[in-house]
Amino acid sequence: MEKTVGGNFVEILKKAQVEMKEGKIEFLGPTEGSVSVIFAEGDILHVDSTWSTGTDELQRIYEWQTGTCVISALTPEEKKTLETKWQSSETLDAVKRETRGAFSLEHPVAVEPLLQDFKRKSLDLDAFLAEIKKNQYSGDARITTPHDHKHILFYQGLPLFSTDRVSITVREAHEIMNTDDSTLNFYLLSDELAHAYASVLQGERVWEGLSVTMLHLDKMLNKLMEKNPTGHLCILKENGDRHYCFFFQGTPLGIYEIDKHWKPVDIATVWEDAKQVDYYLSAEMESFLSKAEEIHTSADFTKFIALWNDLLEVIAKKLGKKPVEKSLEKKFGGTNMYALEGIRLQLADEAPESGFNALETFKLTVPGFLKEMESIVGSSWLNDQLQNFQERNDDIISRLSLTEVFSQKGG
């Protein structure tokens, strides 16, 4: 019996091992040469090729992937040869695992739990978020309730996005974490690992559901790393478990189970019972940070406007509402970023980019307004009010880079 078939070499060999008690397959190379495999009872007993003999030659069929092969029964001579020149049996899966050692984890990243299964009611959430910001922690916050499970990625102290939100403020992060029946975990990640982990929550899909039997993973992974990518491979197991291999600029950072807790995985076992591989890339962190800067600046400026309106009330009590209202209308009424309600400024649009642009307009407009107020009430009284205002609100004024605006109000 002899037949010629075409298709994926690995799948053909697997199928033949199941359907035939014993046999021989000659895999024809794409240009020249061939690999011959003799098998019996599901075991690969002998492998030789145009170039050499031994199971290492099986790697060629992974590299060739598809093509034409000839399947035949064993001849009496071949059976006799095997009896006198027996080669230790190798299963295809064993050879496959041997060829998958591309990741060398010389410097795996340690993941430190800052919170471990912590009950929300036992945590001062405001103080905790302030500590993250102060220390510029990068990490994965996990919020688990009886009904759902959410993640928030922090990078250098700022929340960038969550499971269901592309961009979030500190206030929104607080709302997500502030659930009475929730359990909180926070894992400290390096900046590099946090950047790679971003591809899990907001990644660019390169491929998904790729069968591990369809290609030679050693070659594939080495080629991928040559492009210095930042992102992850998700390796799906037969039982549904998922292992994540993270890499930053082409350097592997570690393999973890992250569905329940950040748990390191032994690289020697990562391909056992593997079913398929997903591949995701992370965008440049600058793009995430620029958006986060807009969002957090806008949130800070919204808070500042409320403080500024309190100052306007003080000025109006001294001068009267009419001159203050008239000057505000002249300075801010012509912009589409502000709405005036008497002597109170309101943002016309709450979108982050609008708040960011409104701040820039404020920096340009306020010195002229203050100069007009000074011409009416005098510099001594106004300077005292501005100095008190700065001292009370120094933190937010510094964050918004408004110190110079108030220091050189007449510029």
Q: Which domain holds residue 397?
A: 287-407
Same domain, 272 and 352: no
Among 283, 315, 333, the domain-final residue is 283
Do residue 319 and residue 398 come from a single domain? yes
Instruction: Specify which of 157-161, 207-211, 241-245, 263-267 reaches the highest per-range mean pLDDT.
Output: 241-245
Helices (H), 85-190: 92-98, 125-135, 170-177
pLDDT per residue over 109-132, tens digit each? 789 999 989 998 888 888 898 899
Share of the chain above pLDDT 70, in %: 87
CA distances from 235 to 232, 253, 275, 411 (A): 10, 15, 7, 60
pLDDT at residue 88, rounded to an integer: 44
Two structure tokens written together for 343: 């002597």
State the pLDDT at residue 25.
95
CA angle 119, 125, 127 (to 5 degrees): 130
pLDDT at residue 215, as a whole number? 44
DSSP state of 142: E
Domain end among 283, 314, 346: 283
Helix or strand run (H / E) with residue 191: helix 191-202
Q: Is the same domain home to 59 and 136? A: no
Q: Which of 90-104, 128-142, 196-210, 373-387 has the lowest mean pLDDT?
A: 90-104
Q: Copy the structure tokens of residue 152.
A: 């928030």
Model confidence band, residue 155 (pLDDT cutoffs 50, 70, 90) = very high
Residues 354 and 238 in one domain: no
For 70, 71, 382, the CA distances from 400, given in Å and listed in that order, are 73, 74, 22
Q: Cα separation of 30 and 24, whole Å?
A: 19
- 273 with 293, same domain: the answer is no
Are 247 and 313 contained in the same domain? no
pLDDT digit string, tens, across residues 33-58: 999 998 887 778 888 899 888 777 88
- pLDDT computed for residue 280 by the predictor: 94
Is 105 within the bounds of a domain?
Answer: no
State the pLDDT at residue 95: 47
Residues 116 and 260 in one domain: yes
pLDDT confidence tier of residue 97, bands split at 50, 70 and 90 = very low
Q: Does residue 177 sit in the same domain as residue 208?
A: yes
Split into its structural domains, the chain has a count of: 3
